[in-house]
């Protein structure tokens, strides 16, 4: 969907910038669309989605263990965006992506020691620093992390042979016949389906031999992307891996499961360092688990992780080798008398992201999207209500396990907006700038139903003032924000915002849809 807004007019010098107008969203592209009535296979459902830092490549992982890569075409066909701007080239208003390649990242496994089946489903994908015109990325399932290199390889063809071209066309190209040979090999390295003593009469040579001998030449015709696994990081997690995150130093990354966070070096696959361990001596004393973890975007010594109790801990790796003690902890205190059986379940944080300004942390729990200031531990500075209308239905959601769904969150490249998914294939975009009342609900379809959600009468104040802001998405207990009955089987769990454009890639059912 394409986003556009009005130009900012003149304003007095020194006055605060007004919030940007709400974006107008339009559908852009869809990949892997199913025909009406076509069966959706479980292995085709997308389970992870991620843009690279340049925004020129998009990676998706599915439950079948496959990773599919897409590349941007409206820029790559004409050079880099910076070059186009210098040449006054009209850049397309609708970024377009095309299929690049795919590969099987993980296979189903069986742990014989624990009698445990390990699914091939891709849990997370993270892009690494590119080098030498090659792309690098990390992918993980529940137990094993893999480091992949994707590079363009030239497809070579042999030509300039001493064979009549008409005969070569009838018998197939010399290159293909020499590469796709049967299992019978000749002494000179050739091959043949026929017996050794069979004389080939199809190739005719002039009397007296050939006037000259032309040696075969290798010519490059095209390039194909080839994926190769560089490293496998295994046997370091007893519980399911829920997060991986690259460090800004370009050399290390972390992997997190329910109880531990490990630090890896990209070049060393047989050793990792356990930096956080929340496992109690007696498992009966376990009260919370790790749900998500991420490195700071620029400070290589800082990382944050969230818990099932709704808290976020900030860790400084310089303090000690084993970071059992956090530097800061962010959590919102419960209102007296508001606790219920579901309080702890819906407070569990499913995803965290460092904001673009590096000062804030974005978190997503079942009901809300929250923005935290790293200098303020007492509570979030902004709260955006996403699923508040589902509070009367928590019993039903618990019965069908929907209450345990884990939704991703993301922020725009300019840091002015945040987004997250919901049910009925809806996703919500909120403005997080001072004075912004933007709260948009859209459906992930070719005809998105846009609705501007009204905010409370209380004016929203600046995030920088450390006051709390509440933005509500929908208050109706029976219907969604568009007035329709909610469908809990169609949920939009995974989405990613382009790093430089107002473009959101999201997973709708079993396909990825791009909106800008």
On the 0-12 / 13-18 / 19+ scale of CB atoms within 10 A, 244 is buried
Q: Is the pTM of this model over 0.85?
A: no
Longest dimension (CA), the chain: 105
**Average pLDDT, consecutive stretches of 10 residues, N- to C-terminus, the chain (516 residues):** 50 63 86 77 92 94 95 68 53 77 94 87 96 94 96 77 51 43 46 50 59 68 88 94 95 96 96 94 92 95 95 92 86 78 92 93 95 91 92 92 94 93 92 85 74 38 36 45 67 93 80 51
Specify the pLDDT at position 98: 93
> What six digits make up the tokens of 338?
């508001």
Specify the pLDDT at position 210: 59
Report the run of H or E that residue 395 belongs to, with start and end: helix 394-399
DSSP code for 391:
G
Are 422 and 482 spatial neighbours (Cβ–Cβ below 8 Å)? Answer: no
In whole angstroms, what is the distance from residue 241 CA to residue 249 CA?
22
- Extended strands (E) in 258-381: 260-265, 268-277, 290-295, 302-307, 312-316, 328-330, 351-354, 360-364, 368-373
The DSSP secondary structure of 426-478, one letter per residue, reads EEEEEE-STT---EEEEESSSS---EEPPPPSSPP--GGGT--EEEES---SS
In whole angstroms, what is the distance from residue 227 CA to residue 57 CA?
15
Specify the pLDDT at position 27: 86
Specify the pLDDT at position 8: 45
Are 452 and 471 spatial neighbours (Cβ–Cβ below 8 Å)? Answer: no
**CA-based end-to-end distance of the chain:** 3
In whole angstroms, what is the distance from residue 74 CA to residue 199 CA?
55
Specify the pLDDT at position 307: 95
Are 288 and 268 spatial neighbours (Cβ–Cβ below 8 Å)? Answer: no
Specify the pLDDT at position 5: 52
In whole angstroms, what is the distance from residue 50 CA to residue 58 CA?
6
Specify the pLDDT at position 515: 56
């Amino acid at each position: 969907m394409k986003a556009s807004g009005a130009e900012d007019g003149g304003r007095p010098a020194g006055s605060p910038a007004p919030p940007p107008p709400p974006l107008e969203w339009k559908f852009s592209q869809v990949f892997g669309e199913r025909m009406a009535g076509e069966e959706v296979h479980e292995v085709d459902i997308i389970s992870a989605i991620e843009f690279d830092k340049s925004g020129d490549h998009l990676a998706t992982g599915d439950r079948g263990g496959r990773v599919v890569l897409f590349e941007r075409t409206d820029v790559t066909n004409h050079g880099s965006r910076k070059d186009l701007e210098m040449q006054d080239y009209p850049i397309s208003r609708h970024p377009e992506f095309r299929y690049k390649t795919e590969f099987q990242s993980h296979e189903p496994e069986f742990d014989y020691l624990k009698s445990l089946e390990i699914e091939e489903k891709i849990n997370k994908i993270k892009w690494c620093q590119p080098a030498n015109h090659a792309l690098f990325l990390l992918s993980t399932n529940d137990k094993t992390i893999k480091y992949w290199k994707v590079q363009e390889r030239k497809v070579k063809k042999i030509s300039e042979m001493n064979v009549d071209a008409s005969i070569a066309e009838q018998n197939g190209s010399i290159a293909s016949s020499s590469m796709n040979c049967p299992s019978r090999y000749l002494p000179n390295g050739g091959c043949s389906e026929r017996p050794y003593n069979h004389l080939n009469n199809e190739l005719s040579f002039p009397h007296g031999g050939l006037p000259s001998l032309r040696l075969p030449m290798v010519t490059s015709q095209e390039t194909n992307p080839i994926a190769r696994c560089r490293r496998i990081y295994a046997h370091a997690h007893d519980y399911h891996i829920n997060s991986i995150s690259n460090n800004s130093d370009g050399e290390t990354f972390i992997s997190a499961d329910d109880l531990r966070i490990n630090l890896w070096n990209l070049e060393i696959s047989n050793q990792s360092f356990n930096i956080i361990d929340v496992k109690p001596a007696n498992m009966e004393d376990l009260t919370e688990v790790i749900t998500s973890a991420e490195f700071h975007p620029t400070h290589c010594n800082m990382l944050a992780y969230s818990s099932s109790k709704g808290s976020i801990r900030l860790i400084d790796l310089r303090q000690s080798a084993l970071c059992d003690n956090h530097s800061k902890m962010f959590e919102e205190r419960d209102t007296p008398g508001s606790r219920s059986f579901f309080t702890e379940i819906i407070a569990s944080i499913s995803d965290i992201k460092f904001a673009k300004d590096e000062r804030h942390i974005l978190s997503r729990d079942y009901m809300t999207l929250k923005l935290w200031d790293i200098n303020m531990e007492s509570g979030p500075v902004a709260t955006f209500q996403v699923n508040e209308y589902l509070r009367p239905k928590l019993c039903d959601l618990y019965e069908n396990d929907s209450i345990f769904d884990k939704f991703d969150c993301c922020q725009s490249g300019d840091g002015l907006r945040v987004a997250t998914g919901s049910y009925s294939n809806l996703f919500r975009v909120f403005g997080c700038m001072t004075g912004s009342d933007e709260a948009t609900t859209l459906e992930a379809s070719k005809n998105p139903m846009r609705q501007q959600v009204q905010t409370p009468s209380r004016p929203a104040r600046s995030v920088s003032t450390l006051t709390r802001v509440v933005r509500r998405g929908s208050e109706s207990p029976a219907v969604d924000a568009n007035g329709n009955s909610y469908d809990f089987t169609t949920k939009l769990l995974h989405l990613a915002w382009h790093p430089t454009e107002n473009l959101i890639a999201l997973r709708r059912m079993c396909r990825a849809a791009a909106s800008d």
